[in-house]
Chain A
Amino acid sequence: MRLLLIACFALFLNACAGPQLRGTGDLGLIIERASGHVTLVNTTARQPYARIGGLGDLSHASAVYSRDGRYAFIFGRDGGLTKIDLLEAKIVKRIIQSGNAIGGSISQDGRIVVAQNYKPGGIKAFDSETLELLAEVPAEFAPGQFSKVVGLADTAGNKFAYALFDGGEIRVTDFSNPRQPTTQKFPAGQQPYDGLVTPDGRYFLAGLFGEDGVAMLDLWQPEKGARKILENYGRGQEKLPVFKMPHLRGWSVAQGKAYLPAIGRHEVLVVDVATWKEVGRIPVRGQPVFVMARPDGRQIWVNFAFPDNGKVDVIDTLAGKVTHRMEPGKAILHMEFAPRGEHVWLSARDDNKVLIYNTENFAKLGEIPAESPSGIFFTSRAVRTGF
């Protein structure tokens, strides 16, 4: 009887020590680029709850999420691919998949994680459960010549669209048979520097660095090929120097328009997504890097390349112009909105903190210490195409 009591007591203790149940919809992570750490955060409490190290070179690192929002896949510059469990706050698996990488993406069904690589140039697909290599697609654009890959984005049907910086192409690789992918190639223009897929998954855009314009491919009608939009927006004017490449993602689309960074001009270009014609240009205070719509599309937040990287401009999409200007900190590298956009988190690299602002009245709500913070990624990305 006494033994039985002890056994019951042990069971009771076990039950108490078990993990507390919780969802992941209000979690996220901050990349600490210089020290190979990520800080895990709660966007409801607006506080960090764990910190994980040992992720290698995280300069220019980015993250995507599993469908359930529990696991983050972090792509490091050094080719590291790390799977993190946000609930248990630990590394589940880590591999070095290439020599030099620039981000990645996750398939529509959540089963395939694809990394895009500079060296060796190409993409690699991994099983999201085990990180086992499924297939490798080299970005060979001429015999023996391999391109750096940019702009990788997930699209419908486990297809991934991306662009070749050195090869001047858009490619679409179909992983519906994950170990035997097939690839379509489309001439795009000179030096695509990044790409995006529109939130509906229909259009892939590749921003061009080597010429004024953006290459656009209709993924519903790829047989029509890529065409140029925003051609010659500089009209032969001398470009201003670009001290950091802009970043494109599906966040650029709001209210039926795409808001895109001009290259070598201190402007945001506005394109009507129905006609793909330029409908406006909005002057801003530097070379735009991230041009990000608040999830409801009412505001567009813009940060800038060096030496204007302490500034942030906010465009009101109804007014069609910048209505709020701020200097929130030193070296604002990235911005991330709360899932429904009431707050925005800004990483201030050279202040070693992340700043949180109310997007309605621009009041500062708090800050979180982080060592050289760069990317901020919330689990709400898990359910969005092209994130």
Chain B
Amino acid sequence: MSTSNFIFGLFFLSTVAIAGEPDVARQKELVHLVRQDCGSCHGMTLKGGLGPALLPENLRDKPAEGLAATIYYGRPGTPMPPWKAFLSEAEAAWIVDKLMTEFPE
């Protein structure tokens, strides 16, 4: 095992250890999903489109659990579909956490 692999391994273990965060590869997939596919309604820069803007200042006053539930179960009566076939509740919570702080590029 090379040094860089070892360091990567340590990093990997540490990210999993923090509150069951998705691993690095999965985080990359989730970021791509949000920017590209959620982006078709919310905008690639998350400034909104047919769906509302998802920037930290837009979400600040909303409870995180409710936002995660909206991602996971969708919101009936609006075009927001449920994404539960493609991610777990923990991953929805991770997305909300990132949206409320700073969403990765």
B44: which A residues are within 8 A, CB to CB? 33-34, 57, 59, 77
Summarize A's interface: helix, strand, loop or mixed: loop
Minimum CB–CB distance from B38 to chain A (whole Å) comes to 9
| Pair B36/A241 contact, Cβ less than 8 Å | no
B47 within 8 A of A: yes
Minimum CB–CB distance from B29 to chain A (whole Å) comes to 11
Give the segment of A38-46, A216-224, A242-250, A379-387 that binds chain B.
A242-250
B79 within 8 A of A: yes
In the complex, per-residue mask of A154-175: 1 if CB is within 8 Å of any chain B CB, else 0: 0000000000010000000000
| Pair A100/B74 contact, Cβ less than 8 Å | no
In the complex, per-residue mask of B39-51: 1 if CB is within 8 Å of any chain A CB, else 0: 1110111011110
A331 vs B79: C-alpha distance when bound (angstroms): 21
A241: which B residues are within 8 A, CB to CB? 74, 81-82
A241 vs B78: C-alpha distance when bound (angstroms): 11
| Pair A148/B50 contact, Cβ less than 8 Å | yes
Q: Restricting to B41-93, which residues have a CB under 8 Å from any CB of A?
A: 41, 43-45, 47-50, 74, 79, 81-82, 85-86
B23: which A residues are within 8 A, CB to CB? none
8 Å CB contact of B50 from A78, A118, A331, A372: A118
Number of interface residues of A (CB under 8 A): 28
A241 vs B72: C-alpha distance when bound (angstroms): 12
A56 vs B14: C-alpha distance when bound (angstroms): 37
Most chain-A Cβ atoms within 10 A of its Cβ — which of B48, B74, B79, B86? B79
| Pair A60/B81 contact, Cβ less than 8 Å | no
In the complex, per-residue mask of A347-387: 1 if CB is within 8 Å of any chain B CB, else 0: 00110000000000000000000001000000000000000
8 Å CB contact of A331 from B36, B45, B48, B82: B36
A59: which B residues are within 8 A, CB to CB? 39-40, 43-45
Closest B-chain residue to A210, C-beta based? B77
8 Å CB contact of A119 from B41, B45, B48, B86: B48
| Pair B79/A191 contact, Cβ less than 8 Å | yes
| Pair B79/A77 contact, Cβ less than 8 Å | no
8 Å CB contact of A243 from B43, B49, B81: B81
A306: which B residues are within 8 A, CB to CB? 37, 40
A386 vs B85: C-alpha distance when bound (angstroms): 37
A209 vs B41: C-alpha distance when bound (angstroms): 14
| Pair A78/B47 contact, Cβ less than 8 Å | yes
B47: which A residues are within 8 A, CB to CB? 57, 77-78, 100
Closest A-chain residue to B81, C-beta based? A241
Minimum CB–CB distance from B63 to chain A (whole Å) comes to 23
| Pair B49/A60 contact, Cβ less than 8 Å | yes
Minimum CB–CB distance from A295 to chain B (whole Å) comes to 27
Closest B-chain residue to A99, C-beta based? B47
B82: which A residues are within 8 A, CB to CB? 241
In the complex, per-residue mask of A71-98: 1 if CB is within 8 Å of any chain B CB, else 0: 0000001100000000000000000000
Minimum CB–CB distance from A148 to chain B (whole Å) comes to 6
A331 vs B37: C-alpha distance when bound (angstroms): 10
A193 within 8 A of B: yes
Closest A-chain residue to B86, C-beta based? A307
| Pair B45/A244 contact, Cβ less than 8 Å | no
A102 within 8 A of B: yes
A77 vs B47: C-alpha distance when bound (angstroms): 9
A59 vs B82: C-alpha distance when bound (angstroms): 23
What are 5 A-B contacts with C-beta separation under 8 Å?
A: A100-B48, A102-B49, A118-B49, A245-B41, A372-B36
6 additional A-B pairs beyond A77-B47, A100-B47, A193-B79, beta carbons within 8 Å, are A59-B40, A59-B43, A77-B44, A150-B50, A193-B50, A242-B79
